[in-house]
Amino acid sequence: MRIKKLVCLALAALLLLGFFSGCVQDKREELLEKAEQYLRQGDCALAVRILDTYLEQEPENITAKELYAQYYHATEQFLLEAEAYYRLIKQAQDNDISLEGYYLACAAAYLQLGYREDALEIYQEGAARLPQAEQLRQKADELDAQLHPPGQLSPKPDENGVYHMTVPGEKTALEVIFSGTEEDGALPAAYRQAIESFEEATGHTVSCQTLPQGVPLNENHIKNGLCFIGTQKELDALTAAGVLVSLEEMREEYPNLGEHYREELCGRGPDGKIYALPAAGGWSGLFINQKALKSCGVALPGEGYTWEQFLRDCEAIKDSGKIPIAAEDTEAGWGPWVELGLWNNTPASRQSAALPWTLALEDMKELYDKGYIQKTEQAEDASEAASPFDMLLDGEAVFMLGDDNDCANLAAALQRRDEEPGSLYVTPPPVKDTAKAGQVVGDLTGGWAMSRTVWDDPEKRMAAVSLYSHLTAANIAAGGKEAYLFSALKVSDGAEEKDMLKKMLETSFFPLVRGMRPSTLAEVTAAEGGQWLKILHQVLTEALTPQEAAENLNQTEGQGLQEREKAEESNAGE
């Protein structure tokens, strides 16, 4: 019916164009006759649109004014009629013989006004109240079928980004392939609950498969549904194989899909298009104690903060008697700095599988030798251990490289201190290549993507889109980690720590972020069988040169790559 109205509107517009371009008198009369006809048919909305356009050009036309008066009279009449019958409905007893007639008359008045959804509600209410009223039930079914054809989705998603199925239609079987799981292979509770609610609401079925750790997704897994991509490497491989559908293509049919995400931070393929909407994702940033920085006479870093500027600021901070950088002597403490060094020294187009360990380790040694990075030793008693968070909040240290998980730790520390986060600031990490300015590490921990196979299947597409929106909803936290909800990846908020850090992130970090860069953390922690931290200590104490350490690390990484490739080939064969 909506299409029919649009067609009628287009015809009316053409008639008006012809008339006001100098057409003959009969065109004008024909147009007014159409408006009058629509009024008689009860299609008041279309009639008034024609008259509005007509009266803009001919404001003194008597016939048009008279028709306009009829419209308002009809509108007022039908509204009063609908209200009157609904009052009778509410006052009537269930055994009132007139009740069915009241419902039919009330719905008819709404239909005359063009309020078809309201009319449907009246029919459905009457059919539920009067099970024996066959006419009410028949009219409800007919109008419902017209308004909501089987298998249709809601025109727009709800506040969480979920497209609900108005009428599920034929039952559909979908699949979800999940990569990057815990060792036990369990699907995170948030996703499991989303799938269960989808099945309950629609009647469709979803079978789930979780891949063992270390077994990457490949095109043989992507058959009949959605996939959860664990790493950027998996995303690149699946995109290259042509088995995924881009968000841009899906939005041609569902324009509001994923609108609650910051698009510049989503998972993109080599062609620059978005293929994965992370229900969770990480970011890294340089946390700064503004008060401590100011006391050192150093300006707050702005957009495009360079490595050279960072080193100069560290020197000024050190000269002022404060510790430039706080980092715990653990993988969690050193890892972000090593990763930053690897990324800072990796060319835009990586020619070799080997990571630039030599340059990265040289950067770490420079920070250590110049006294810029203060490692906090682990104590036997955890309560006595120096915390980089406390050092930062106390103003003993000025910088700390952290991620979205650290938000929760900082929030907890602030809560213990009963303090506000006004002195804290976070900015994207310093870069050597200004082309990378404003980017952050993006470990794709939860990128949901849709397979080309299910998208191209007209019987499954709408169900798959609805499931896709359930799994990427704004109120889902991957793995139950609230910190991910309040991530740079999503526009929405909802994490417990938001009251503490929301203002800081919104005024400093988020506006400066310009894009994601793939994480190398998995490759870092896998290097030398996970012994990279021991090798780093050997470099810092000059037991090994950066080049010697890099040779060992790259050799081990190469062996690791070969082993992973063999595992992928074996898995593909299965």
Residue with tokens 């043989």: 220
Residue found under tokens 């069988």: 529
Exposed, middle or buried by CB within 10 Å (0-12, 13-18, 19+), for 227?
A: buried
Tokens at residue 411, please?
């929030």
Is residue 403 helix, strand or coil? Answer: strand
- Look at residue 13 in the predicted model and tell me its pLDDT: 46
pLDDT for position 382: 44
Q: Identify the pLDDT of residue 20.
A: 44
Tokens encoding 325: 């950088």
Are β-strands 323-328 and 373-376 bridged in parallel, bridged antiparallel, or unpaired?
Answer: parallel
pTM score: 0.57
What pLDDT score does 199 carry?
93
Predicted confidence at residue 14, as pLDDT, reads: 41
- pLDDT for 371: 92
Question: 50-79 burial, b for 16+ CB within 10 Å, e for fewer?
Answer: bbebbeeebeebebbeebbebbeebbeebe
Query: What is the per-residue pLDDT for 5?
Result: 40
Segments of the chain scoring below 70 in pLDDT = 1-28, 39-46, 68, 70-75, 150, 180-187, 213-214, 232, 262, 264-265, 279-282, 348-354, 375-386, 408, 411-412, 420-422, 441-446, 477-508, 510-511, 513-530, 554-574
Give tens-digit pLDDT for 531-555: 788 888 899 889 899 998 888 776 6
pLDDT, position 289: 92
pLDDT in tens, 215-236: 778 888 887 788 877 776 788 8
Predicted local distance difference test score (pLDDT) of residue 485: 37
Position 79 scores a pLDDT of: 79
